[in-house]
Amino acid sequence: MKVIVVGAGPSGLLLALILAKQGIDIEVVEKAVTLDKQPRATHYSAPAVYELVRAGVADEIYRGGYVPQGACWRKLDGTRLVGITATGVIPEDYPYKMVCYPLDKLCPLLLKHVLELPNVQVNWSHDVVKIGQDDTKAWVEVETPAGLRKLFADYVVGCDGARSNVRRGLFGEEFPGFTWDEQIVATNTYYDFDQFDWSDSNFIVHPEHYFMAARISPHRGKKALWRVTYGELAGLTREQLLARQPDKFRTFLPGHPEPDQYKIVNFGPYRIHQRCAERLRVGRILLAADAAHLCNPFGGLGLTGGIVDIGGLSDCLIGIHQGVASDSILDHYDRVRRDIYNNVVNPISSENFRRVLQDPEIALEKDEFFKICLKAEKDDEMSRNMQLSVKDMLQHDFTQYYDKKEAVDTTDSA
Ligand SMILES: Cc1cc2nc3c(=O)[nH]c(=O)nc-3n(C[C@H](O)[C@H](O)[C@H](O)COP(=O)(O)OP(=O)(O)OC[C@H]3O[C@@H](n4cnc5c(N)ncnc54)[C@H](O)[C@@H]3O)c2cc1C
Ligand SMILES: *[C@@H]1O[C@H](CO)[C@@H](O)[C@H](O)[C@H]1NC(C)=O
């Protein structure tokens, strides 16, 4: 079997790695000349780590990244409202602990493993402009420096991100959902938050100056790199955003620093969306991760949800390749992954975002999630269950749809 993976982002590379390890021929086509370096995903929670373990890359990720010890919500003046602690609550030997390992490290790591396999090709400067299929195969038309190429495979998977041409080829500009009015700016910043005794992840609740500050390197003190992501007015240009940035940091960062007290090494404005494609499967063409669905980054469900797609889709394609699943298993992929987006990822990520936009003075009385956290702070078992439940909420085992002739023959209720 041969699969064309469109996009060498984290989801495409992980899919290529898992499938190629099972002997499926893979051709990755990537529009850019090299891996993307924008400041994006940093934290992966248990359901994603489960797939990274299965792909055989988790040990290296734990070695190169770090395990955050907790998160909390604060008022603009830094006062702690409530938090969630992992230390002493999540068992030391739990194999799927949340890990922080920014994309600019994860993608090179995945690529290195992919390139070690003989049955994978990765082709850069390959921009997919058209897709098509018939009863026996699917294809992509690709613009390359050497001209237009047409590549064929049994399946094409669009892992080509938010502006997916594979999705556009299936549904045009239709991408149901909405775009938030707010825009956000994601920065990687060296600043000593430890002098203020901040948690590894901090969410500042404020209608205007809301932001998130998360340690993204294993270091402490002045050497620690932090992801500072803050809200901004919509409609500002990159230049306007850059001009406003020193005032924003002076206003909301603890210690009210001047520009010579921190160092920004990455600056990326983003519009944020809650959207899910109408279908994740049309015949031999599939969508996964950002190409399939988007959510805002507060709470880190974006790529985590994408990686869970990849794990499930891999099981489906491997089942077909090994002759233990029929093609209709891909309809289960389509239905289940959309259901989980609609019932879990979309509502939880939306709540995470609204939570930082609310009035901090009444948040502890009004916010149901904060009330639960307040209780969990005094009850380790409740806190543990709360933190570990995310995995089951996002995962789905598609191997249950592998052919189980005996089981079906003997169950009369089926
Ligand atoms: C500020 C910010 C913070 C985030 N933090 C987190 C976090 O902590 N945890 C988390 O889980 N998620 C987070 N996310 C979300 C996460 O970054 C995305 O979900 C993730 O990058 C999606 O991966 P992907 O592989 O689906 O798409 P992408 O990373 O967008 O990769 C798509 C690839 O496809 C290529 N491509 C596009 N079009 C074509 C074409 N026509 N032909 C060929 N190739 C093409 C692109 O060049 C790119 O390399 C965050 C996002 C943002 C913006
Ligand atoms: C695609 O990549 C492979 C290596 O992975 C290379 O041998 C081949 O020449 C590339 N094809 C094109 C058209 O760039």
Mean pLDDT by 10 residues, the chain (414 residues): 98 98 98 92 96 97 96 97 95 96 97 98 98 98 98 98 98 98 96 97 98 96 97 95 98 98 96 98 98 95 97 98 96 98 98 97 96 96 95 96 59 37
Residue 142 CB less than 6 A away from ligand 2 = no
Residue 399 CB less than 6 A away from ligand 2 = no
User: What residues contact 133, with CB distance under 8 A and at least 6 apart?
Assistant: 139, 156, 283, 284, 285
Residue where the block lists tokens 């439940």? 389
Residue 358 CB less than 6 A away from ligand 2 = no
For 48, the token pair is 């994603």
Q: Distance between CA atoms of 400 and 394, rounded to whole angstroms?
A: 16
| The pLDDT value given to residue 412 | 39
121 CA to middle of ligand 2, Å?
Answer: 6
User: What residues contact 93, with CB distance under 8 A and at least 6 apart?
Assistant: none
| The pLDDT value given to residue 130 | 98
Which residue puts its alpha carbon closest to atom 13 of ligand 2? 123
**Furthest CA-CA distance within the chain:** 73
42 CA to middle of ligand 1, Å?
Answer: 11
Alpha helices in 72-164 (DSSP H): 103-115
Ligand 2 pocket check: which of 112, 121, 144, 150 to mutate, most ligand atoms within 8 Å of Cβ? 121
Ligand 1 pocket check: which of 40, 111, 228, 301 to mutate, most ligand atoms within 8 Å of Cβ? 40
Which residue puts its alpha carbon closest to atom 7 of ligand 2? 121
Q: Distance between CA atoms of 257 and 259, rounded to whole angstroms?
A: 7
Residue 123 CB less than 6 A away from ligand 2 = yes
Which residue puts its alpha carbon closest to atom 11 of ligand 1? 303
| The pLDDT value given to residue 410 | 35
User: What residues contact 357, with CB distance under 8 A and at least 6 apart?
Assistant: 182, 205, 207, 210, 231
**β-bridge partners, 228:** 187, 213
46 CA to middle of ligand 2, Å?
Answer: 35
Residue 121 CB less than 6 A away from ligand 2 = yes
Ligand closest to 123 (CA) is 2
Which residue puts its alpha carbon closest to atom 1 of ligand 2? 123
Atom in ligand 2 nearest the alpha carbon of residue 126: 14
Query: Cβ < 6 Å from ligand 1: which residues?
Result: 6-12, 29-32, 36, 40-44, 126-128, 159-161, 165, 186, 229, 270, 289-291, 297, 300, 302-304, 306
Residue 125 CB less than 6 A away from ligand 2 = no
Q: Report which of 253, 286, 303 is spatially closest to residue 155, judged by C-alpha positions.
A: 286
| The pLDDT value given to residue 300 | 86
b (16+ CB within 10 A) / e for 7-37: bbbbbbbbbbbbbbbeebbbbbbbbeeebee
Atom in ligand 2 nearest the alpha carbon of residue 115: 5
C-beta separation of 310 from 288 below 8 A: yes
- Structural domains in the chain? 2-177+274-401 (3.50.50.60)
Three-class DSSP category at 319: helix
Ligand 2 pocket check: which of 27, 123, 125, 126 to mutate, most ligand atoms within 8 Å of Cβ? 123
Q: What is the DSSP letter of 335?
A: H
Q: Distance between CA atoms of 247 and 138, rounded to whole angstroms?
A: 52
C-beta separation of 158 from 164 below 8 A: yes
Which residue puts its alpha carbon closest to atom 38 of ligand 1? 160
C-beta separation of 319 from 172 below 8 A: no
174 CA to middle of ligand 1, Å?
Answer: 19
| The pLDDT value given to residue 404 | 62
Atom in ligand 2 nearest the alpha carbon of residue 125: 14
Ligand closest to 149 (CA) is 2
Atom in ligand 1 nearest the alpha carbon of residue 305: 11
Q: Distance between CA atoms of 283 and 133, rounded to whole angstroms?
A: 8
Ligand closest to 141 (CA) is 1
pTM beyond cutoff 0.85: yes
Which residue puts its alpha carbon closest to atom 6 of ligand 1? 41
Residue 119 CB less than 6 A away from ligand 2 = no
